Structure formats: C-alpha cells, structure tokens
Amino acid sequence: MDSSPFNNLPQDTLHQIFCHLPLRQIAAAKCVCKALRAALSSASFHHLLHSQSRSLPLLALKTSHRHVSTLLNLHSFDPAANQWLKFSLSFLPFAGLHPITSSNGLLYLWASSPQNPQKALVVCNPLTARFKTLPLLGSAWSRHGAVLAGSLTAVLVLTELAVLYYSENGNPNFTPNWLKFSSNLPSKPRSPVLASDFILTLCDVGSPWRSQWAMFKGRIVDTDKAMQWVRQERREWGDIFDILKRPRLVKAGSDRKVYMVGGLKSSYALQSACTTILVLRLDLDTLEWEEAGRMPLEMYRCFVESSKFKVFGGGDRVCFSAKRVGRLALWEEFGDGKNAWRWVDGLPGSGDVLSRGFVFEARLDAVL
C-alpha cells in the first residue's frame, strides 16, 4: 500500500468511494491492510454510513472455554458469498475473549483481564469498535450459564436454578444491574432460544439410565421474581421427542417458528443407531411439527464415526460440526419452502475440534 494510488487520495474521497459498496465488501476491504482498516473504521466514515440501514447475516464461530481466544479475531462465514470474513477484536482491552452470542448487530462476549480474573459480559460492535461492559458476574455464571440476548435492554443468563436479567430501564436515574429470578427447571437447560417475549428450552426429564426430553416455555419477567415454566406437550405430538437422539433447538428466522434438530433413531432401543440427521420445524402459533429437512446419506456418512456433533445457527440456516470432519455441513431453508445442503470448507483452525457458533448480523448502525 506504500506505493498505492489510494495513499494520494484525501480521506473524504476514499470514504465517498467505499460508502457505495455493500457491507460485505466493506468488511472484506478492512482486512486488506492497516491503512484501509483505519480509514474504514473512522468515526467520519461510520457517520456517513449511519443513515444507510445495511446488514450482513453471518455465521460466527465461538472459541472453547478451554481455549480462550488470544488471536483477537471473530471468524465468520458469509453464506451468500461463500467466504470467510475476519473481524478484529483488538480494540477490546481484555486478555481473554469468548464470543457467545449476538443480537441486532451487537456481539456478546465473556471477557477477563490479568488485573481482574473475574469474567465480565461485554457487548460490542466489531464494525465500529465500540464496546460496553455490563456489571460483573461471578465466574460460575460464565461456566454454566447460557446467555440469551434480544437487545441491550434484554439480556439473560439462564441456568437450571436461576435466571439473571439485565435491564437499563430507559430511566437516566436508574442504575442498570442484574436482577435475579429463581428458575426451578427439572434439569440443565439445553439449547435455549429467545422467541419474542419468552424462552423455549429442552430439559432431560428421564432417568440416569435413559434420557427423556421435554420442551419448556417460560416468560422472561414475572412480578413474583420467578420464572414460570410450562411444559409444552400435545397428544398429537406422539413420540416426537423419542425419535431424535440429542435433540437441540435452533431459532428460525421468524419469532413464531423454531427448529429442533437431532439424530434420527433407527428404533426405540436404548442404544439404537441413527440413520441421518433430521430438522423439524415447530409453528409456535398452531403448535404443529413438520419435517423441514434431513441430511443426505452421503453427507451423513462423514458424521457417523464421530461420537457426537454440534448444532448452531438461526435465521433459516443450521450448521453441523463434528470431530475429524474438517468442515461444516450447512442446511438452508428458502422462502419458497425449498431447502438445500452443502459443505462449508476453509474452517479456521484445526479440523479435529468441534466447532460451535451463532448467527451474527453485522451492522454499522448497531449502537450501544
């Protein structure tokens, strides 16, 4: 870039050129060199784009709690362009970063520092390099709690026994803090999703020898300081929870639908093998299930030898990861009711690990 003609352009001219590009190309351009990254990260450029509502739906990767990120980058896959993007997190003044979820263009991370090993929940916008630290929590919440975010004024940390709820209240005289509610779920919540103003989660209500899954629904805030959970069941559902091995919930593109994904058992035997991976769709208005997709046999063969697989996604996309596969399997549902399966290559890091992730809708106008 030292001899590039870009160096001779005034920054205002550079901004005018790049402001006409899609957000996808702006994000890619920031990875070219430090000069472009600085120019496209400036407050004046963000102000120029702020009036333009642009979003870029991505699938972002988490880091394991056992391998806290020191690379200071968020790796994300762009399904529309079929390419990986890298967002720098070096603006965050923390030594350990663990991205966990996203909502409305904001990224949520567990973070720690050498001065204070206690984990803090940080919310930021990687595109504008703005961040905010929420009130500190004990380290146990970061190890055992599932973080759900609907907006900066609706952040929850959910465990089997308790729920933490963060609210800013919109009152300048109100000091934002965590509110604690009793939860009283029958077991550890698995793959909870936030849909509109309630939470859906799966719990194992079986015995130590045999799992039996059930779905529970709870409102976010109740006046009696407790989450009221209601088991979701209908006679018409039959054995819907018995045919899937290790079912998990994934939020769909609509607040009124949710996916349930798991291995399709070949029989009801305790150690029955799976024949494929099944994607079911639940309509939350009618409470009716329907099959949305099933993994092609040639793709599923790559998952057979792995003892378990991970599921993540949302917004009409579901990703599957397993050890020693070295790539992700991606299922996508389209507006016309059709769906498709494909492989995602170029997975960052070692292909021997289980990848976890979440949907990240990158936006320049997402503010704290």
Tell me: the pLDDT tens digits for 9-41? 777 777 777 777 777 777 777 777 777 777 777
Number of H helices, E strands in the chain: 6, 24
3-state secondary structure of 111: strand
Q: Shortest CA distance to 122 belongs to which of 145, 143, 94?
A: 94
pTM of the predicted protein model: 0.86
Alpha carbon distances (Å) from 296 to 31, 292, 300, 302: 36, 13, 6, 11
At 237, the amino acid letter reads W
Whether 344 shows a pLDDT value over 70: the answer reads yes
H runs (alpha helix) in 58-171: 139-144
Q: Say how far apart CA 126 and CA 129 lie, in whole Å.
A: 5
The predicted structure's pLDDT at residue 236: 87
Q: What is the distance between the alpha carbons of residues 134 and 147, in angstroms, rounded to a whole number?
A: 13
pLDDT of residue 250: 95
CA angle 216, 196, 278 (to 5 degrees): 55
Q: Where is average pLDDT lowest: 2-16, 107-121, 133-147, 286-300?
A: 2-16
Per-residue pLDDT tens over the stretch 202-235: 999 988 888 899 999 998 655 556 678 999 989 8
3-state helix, strand, coil in the chain (%, to 5): 15, 45, 45
What would the mean pLDDT of 105-122 be, rounded to a whole number?
A: 83
